[in-house]
Amino acid sequence: AQTVTQSQPEMSVQEAETVTLSCTYDTSESDYYLFWYKQPPSRQMILVIRQEAYKQQNATENRFSVNFQKAAKSFSLKISDSQLGDAAMYFCAYRRAGGTSYGKLTFGQGTILTVHP
C-alpha cells in the first residue's frame, strides 16, 4: 500500500523569506502523480502544485516549486517570498496513474505553516 509521510507537524517562516516543506512517500508503482494542497481555516483544499512522476523536470507555479527526487521518493515544496496568505495546513498527496483505484488520493498527515510578519 502507498503511504505518504510529512515529518514536520509545524513550520514557521518570516514574511518574504523562503521555507521548504518535506514529504516522502512509498510506492512500488513507476507512474503516479504527486500533489501539494493547501487548507486554510475555511476548510477548502486548494491545489498548489502537481508533479507527474515520469517528468524529470520539477514543477513550478509562481512562488511555489517542488524538488522531486524519484529514486529517493521525496517530494518537497519550496515557498519563496512567503506571504501572510500562505499560512495554512499543507498536505502532500499521492495518486496512482492507473488501475481501478486511480481515484484515491493518499494524503500525508499535514504541516501547519505559520507566517510571521
Partner 1 sequence: GAGVSQSPSNKVTEKGKDVELRCDPISGHTALYWYRQSLGQGLEFLIYFQGNSAPDKSGLPSDRFSAERTGGSVSTLTIQRTQQEDSAVYLCASSKGRGADGYTFGSGTRLTVV
Nearest approach, Cβ of 56 to partner 1 (angstroms)? Answer: 18
Is residue 115 within 8 Å of 82, Cβ to Cβ? yes
Closer residue to partner 1, CB minimum distance, 50 or 63: 50
Rounded Cα distance between 84 and 86, Å, is: 5
Closer residue to partner 1, CB minimum distance, 17 or 29: 29
Closer residue to partner 1, CB minimum distance, 7 or 109: 109
Nearest residue to 79 via CA among 48, 46, 108: 48
Given the rule CB under 8 A, which residues bind partner 1?
Answer: 33, 35, 37, 42-47, 50, 52, 91, 95, 97, 100-110
Nearest approach, Cβ of 9 to partner 1 (angstroms)? Answer: 12
Nearest approach, Cβ of 64 to partner 1 (angstroms)? Answer: 13
> b or e along 59-74 (b: 16 or more beta carbons within 10 Å of the residue's beta carbon)?
beeeebbbebeeeebe
Rounded Cα distance between 104 and 93, Å, is: 10
Closer residue to partner 1, CB minimum distance, 19 or 36: 36
Distance set, CA 80 to CA 25, 90, 103 (Å)? 23, 15, 31
